[in-house]
Structure 1
Amino acid sequence: MAAFGTISVSSCSKDNESQPAQREQAQAQDAKAEEAYPGQSGQTTVGSWGGEAITYQEINGDKVYEGDILLTPGQAATAAGQGQQRPSSAGRTSGRWPSAIVYYTIDSNLPSQNRVTDAIAHWQANSPVRFVQRTTQSNYVTFRVGSGCSSNIGMVGGRQYINLASGCSTGNTIHEIGHALGLFHEQTRNDRDTYVNILTQNIQSGYEHNFTKYGAQGISGTDYGALDFGSIMMYGSFSFSSNGQPTITKKDGSTFNIQRTGLSAGDKSGIDAMY
């Protein structure tokens, strides 16, 4: 439920004046929010996963969950009630990499590869996770050209991809690596209603499930510490807005910016607990 404050005599005119600025802020933040296929939508599919409903979109043959997470065929089969149960998770995570080592390759066609190497260096400087160039390992990540910014969630087995369009920054790459390590979006925490209001009336049609708590999607996990507004895995107040109005506010109704510079203190402590 949205939080309401007092209304002054001049509030209507001020609100009208502020709307263009809010829309500009929304557009600026949406440009930074990660999407597998920006500007594209697909068939919304609801399946059963772990006894709970899960919603994703079918876009260009991919099963897109929460905007930038790509479900594997095995996970999608589970979502449809046809496969194995989803693995349990720890600390907002699923599918941790053994010994905290991620093997990787970079596709030679990917431009601005410094986005990847800088993001990897940032993770190594701020977490116990190590990244090692793949030789013959069977489980590994390939960074490649994509239509947007996207990743699988956790280690899924075999070769998996982090997809980066030309507009995906180093910060977006750090975010997508977070997904590959097993991190979900911060606003989907089970305890998020203690900290934020989700304004569903302002969310773009078809993207409402990006804001669903992971527990309601049949995903197990543990939330360490308080919700982190500065997390690199957190949406901003105007992410996926349909009308220039906030989609997420703090409990007092105030807004906050999206952060795609680097890992926050909360991100670091969470990844330490995981790995």
Structure 2
Amino acid sequence: MAAFSLQSAHVGYQGDIVLGNLRSATSCDNCIWPKSDSGNVDVPYTLSSKYSDSEKKIILGAMLEFETLTCVKFVARTDQRNYIAIKPDDGCRSAIGMVGGEQEISLHRSGCLKKGITQHELNHALGFYHEQARTDRDEYVTIVTENINPDDLKHFDIVPTKNLGMKYDYESVMHYSSTAFSNKPQQATIVPRFNTSSTIGQRYGLSRLDVGKINVLYGCDVCSTLLPTPKGTVSSANYPSNYQDNTSCVWLIRTPSQRVLLEFEDFDVQSSPDCDSDYVKVYGGASRTAPVLLEKACGGIIPPPLMSSSNLMLLEFVSDGEVTGRGFKASYGTVQCGNTFHQPSGTFTSPGFPEDYLPLLECIWLITAPEGFMITLRINQLNVEYSVYCRLDYLSVFDGDGPSAPLIGTYCGSRENIVGTSSGTSMFILFHSDHSEQMSGFEASYQFGRFI
């Protein structure tokens, strides 16, 4: 339930559900969108011209997770008869499933334009009711009726959902928040019977079970995994045994905040010219249209660490029908800021340079050169809060791929043209700021050179 629609002048059934002439509140038979010959479920859409480019970007970004993880594809409408028309009307609202003809989804510009809220309304349009409306909801949550006005009790109706053989999902983007329609500030209207510490009603994005339910309802033949935690591991199927042939799988890493850092621990993928047979490919976003962080990789050499510029990273693995290997295993976590570099040269700065950096930063940069090359780093300008032994704000440079590598130097104060060289193929740079004085930071450049 979108929080905005609770305060909207137009409150539909269960807050944000529009009941059309052909839709009842208790049934959604024959309301799913048809599957095309390609196996995809194409949902045509239009976007109101009243949205700004940045607002459209939020909506299109919310659609990407459906397209990456399911067989549902939102396609710009040409002349299709049945389509969704997304408009900034009153509140956050949608009908259930495919109604027919032009089908409005309302996403008001004030309060509704967030990824999770957009995905919530799109999920309604795909045929899903609220999670706490499931037939079995009383086995999992308690509705605190004394905290709900009598006129609002209808928003907590149970509908005869099919549930698709899937577990109840406290983390679903379709679940009400714990205080939805409360008549007392901050008092719960929904209390989980299990996992009582669980946060319900998140609008961060689709949950793993949300994705699974879409794939079951629409019979999607896709190999996809959503990884929505701050850190974890990812590996090919059957690892460390050999992976299967003729596969095409994706893993979408979506951390709650900050940037994603991916580090491979093992890599054994069939080698072929240009890695055209079996390969791993990594993108810095939620889809294959995002910038490529790792071009097709195969063979037995472990790829370098990779960092996205956002909280999203997509890993793709493809195998053909011939030789297989162990596959891969990698771990991921988050960092506030920084980057990974594999190009022969480059320049990077502290966040915001030459403006003052922010307090309480922990940024990392990892530079990786090919075999046979070393790295020369030049800190062109440094203007960082000075302290004895550089214990407050500082820039540390390590001769290796992490903070456990030998320290080349730790720097603070105001300096220019500090030069350091690696003894191997990697260099790790850490920038730290505390809560007190902030300054302009640093600018640095690097270059690869052959070992003599």
TM above 0.5, one fold? yes
Question: Is it true that 1:152 corresponds to 2:118 in the alignment?
Answer: no
1:232 alignment counterpart: 173
Q: Which residue type is aligned with residue 73 of structure 1?
A: N
Question: Is it true that 1:143 corresponds to 2:86 in the alignment?
Answer: yes
Residue aligned with 2:100, SS: coil
User: Counterparts of 2:123 and 2:43 in 1: how far apart (Å)?
Assistant: 12
Q: Which residue type is aligned with residue 13 of structure 2?
A: Y
2:187 alignment counterpart: 245
Question: Is it true that 1:207 corresponds to 2:152 in the alignment?
Answer: yes
- Output one character per residue of 1:113-170: Cα deviation in whole Å (capped at 9) or x when no partner: 1121111112112211011111110000011112211111100000001101121112
1:272 alignment counterpart: 215
Residue aligned with 2:15, SS: coil
User: Counterparts of 1:205 and 1:231 in 2: how far apart (Å)?
Assistant: 26
2:33 alignment counterpart: 97
Per the normalisation by structure 2, the TM-score is 0.43
Question: How big is the shift at 1:205?
Answer: 4.1
Structure 2: 5+ residue stretches without partners? 36-40, 219-452
1:64 alignment counterpart: 12
Q: Which residue type is aligned with residue 251 of structure 1?
A: R
Q: Which residue type is aligned with residue 95 of structure 1?
A: C
User: Counterparts of 1:105 and 1:252 in 2: how far apart (Å)?
Assistant: 41
1:110-129 equivalences under 5 Å are 110-111=51-52, 112-129=55-72
2:339 alignment counterpart: none
2:7 alignment counterpart: 38
Contact 2:28 2:127 in 1 (8 A): no
- Evaluate the alpha carbon distance shift between residue 69 and residue 38 of structure 1 in structure 2; reply closer, same or farther with a 3 A threshold: same
Moved more, 251-260 or 181-190: 251-260
Contact 2:149 2:182 in 1 (8 A): yes
Q: Across the two proteins, how many residue pairs are aligned to each other?
A: 207
- Evaluate the alpha carbon distance shift between residue 202 and residue 105 of structure 1 in structure 2; reply closer, same or farther with a 3 A threshold: same
Moved over 4 A (4+): none
Per the normalisation by structure 1, the TM-score is 0.69
Question: How big is the shift at 1:267?
Answer: 0.7
- Evaluate the alpha carbon distance shift between residue 237 and residue 87 of structure 1 in structure 2; reply closer, same or farther with a 3 A threshold: closer
Q: Which residue type is aligned with residue 207 of structure 1?
A: D
Question: How big is the shift at 1:110?
Answer: 2.2
2:277 alignment counterpart: none
Which structure is richer in relative contact order (CA contacts within 8 A, separation 6 or more)?
1
Question: How big is the shift at 1:101?
Answer: 1.2
Contact 2:46 2:86 in 1 (8 A): yes
User: Counterparts of 1:190 and 1:122 in 2: how far apart (Å)?
Assistant: 27
User: Counterparts of 1:252 and 1:272 in 2: how far apart (Å)?
Assistant: 26
Residue aligned with 1:74, SS: coil
Question: Is it true that 1:194 corresponds to 2:139 in the alignment?
Answer: yes
Indicate the structure (1 or 2) with the bigger Cα radius of gyration: 2
Structure in which a larger fraction of residues adopt helix:
1
- Evaluate the alpha carbon distance shift between residue 255 and residue 39 of structure 1 in structure 2; reply closer, same or farther with a 3 A threshold: farther
Contact 1:192 1:227 in 2 (8 A): yes
Structure 1: 5+ residue stretches without partners? 1-29, 41-58, 80-84, 89-93
2:48 alignment counterpart: 107
- Evaluate the alpha carbon distance shift between residue 119 and residue 253 of structure 1 in structure 2; reply closer, same or farther with a 3 A threshold: closer
User: Counterparts of 2:27 and 2:193 in 1: how far apart (Å)?
Assistant: 32
Contact 1:246 1:255 in 2 (8 A): no
1:263 alignment counterpart: 206
Q: Which residue type is aligned with residue 119 of structure 1?
A: A
Question: How big is the shift at 1:255?
Answer: 5.5
Residue aligned with 1:207, SS: helix
User: Counterparts of 1:127 and 1:252 in 2: how far apart (Å)?
Assistant: 29
Contact 1:67 1:207 in 2 (8 A): no
Question: How big is the shift at 1:253?
Answer: 9.1
Residue aligned with 2:163, SS: coil
Q: Which residue type is aligned with residue 98 of structure 1?
A: P
Question: How big is the shift at 1:239?
Answer: 1.4
Contact 1:34 1:172 in 2 (8 A): no
Match of 1:254 among 185, 196, 206: 196
- Output one character per residue of 1:90-115: Cα deviation in whole Å (capped at 9) or x when no partner: xxxx6110012100110111241112
Q: Percent identity over the alignment? A: 37
> Once superposed, what is the RMSD of the aligned Cα atoms?
2.3
Residue aligned with 2:122, SS: helix
Q: Which residue type is aligned with residue 230 of structure 1?
A: E
- Evaluate the alpha carbon distance shift between residue 195 and residue 116 of structure 1 in structure 2; reply closer, same or farther with a 3 A threshold: same
Structure in which a larger fraction of residues adopt strand:
2
User: Counterparts of 1:154 and 1:135 in 2: how far apart (Å)?
Assistant: 20
1:11 alignment counterpart: none
